[in-house]
C-alpha cells in the first residue's frame, strides 16, 4: 500500500517562473492538504482540497493555487516565483476533509529552490 507520494523530489526555478508540484494521496484517502516549510521553520498551511474544491486556505497570496483531480491526486501551482518561495512543500492526505493533523499522512515533500 503506497503512502503519500510527491513529485518531483527536488526542483530549481528562477524568479518569475511558474511551478507545478504534484501529490498522490494514500490509498483510500480523498483529501489533500498542502504545506510550505521554509528552512528552519515549521510548516505553514497553504490550503486543503476535498471533493475537487478548495475547502480551507491559509494566509497565502493568490499566486498559490491548486487543483484536485477525480482520482483525488492534487497539484500545487505557484506563479511569479519569488526567492522567498524557496521551501519544502509538503502534501498530506486524509479522509473526508479531515483537518486534524493526527488524521493526516504526510508525503516526503518537494524541495523547491528559487534562484
Which one of 7, 17, 18, 41 is in contact with other proteins (CB under 8 A)?
A: 41
Query: Where does this chain touch other proteins (CB under 8 A) — which range of 18-26, 62-70, 72-80, 104-112?
Result: 104-112
Rounded Cα distance between 30 and 98, Å, is: 9
56 scored as a contact of other proteins (CB under 8 A): yes
Per the CB < 8 A criterion, the answer to whether 43 and 104 are in contact is: no
CA-nearest of 115, 114, 112, 92 to 10 is 112
Nearest residue (CB) to other proteins, 59 versus 70: 59
46 scored as a contact of other proteins (CB under 8 A): no
Nearest residue (CB) to other proteins, 16 versus 108: 108
Rounded Cα distance between 59 and 62, Å, is: 10
Amino acid at each position: 500500500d503506497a503512502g503519500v507520494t510527491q513529485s518531483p523530489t527536488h526542483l530549481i526555478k528562477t524568479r518569475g517562473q511558474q511551478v507545478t508540484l504534484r501529490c498522490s494521496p494514500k490509498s483510500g484517502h480523498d483529501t489533500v492538504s498542502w504545506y510550505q516549510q521554509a528552512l528552519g521553520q515549521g510548516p505553514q498551511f497553504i490550503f486543503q482540497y476535498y471533493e475537487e474544491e478548495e475547502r480551507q486556505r491559509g494566509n497565502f497570496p493568490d499566486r498559490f493555487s491548486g487543483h484536485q483531480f477525480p482520482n483525488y491526486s492534487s497539484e500545487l501551482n505557484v506563479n511569479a516565483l519569488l526567492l522567498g518561495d524557496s521551501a519544502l512543500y509538503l502534501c498530506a492526505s486524509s479522509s473526508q476533509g479531515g483537518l486534524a493533523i493526527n488524521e493526516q499522512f504526510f508525503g516526503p515533500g518537494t524541495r523547491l529552490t528559487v534562484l
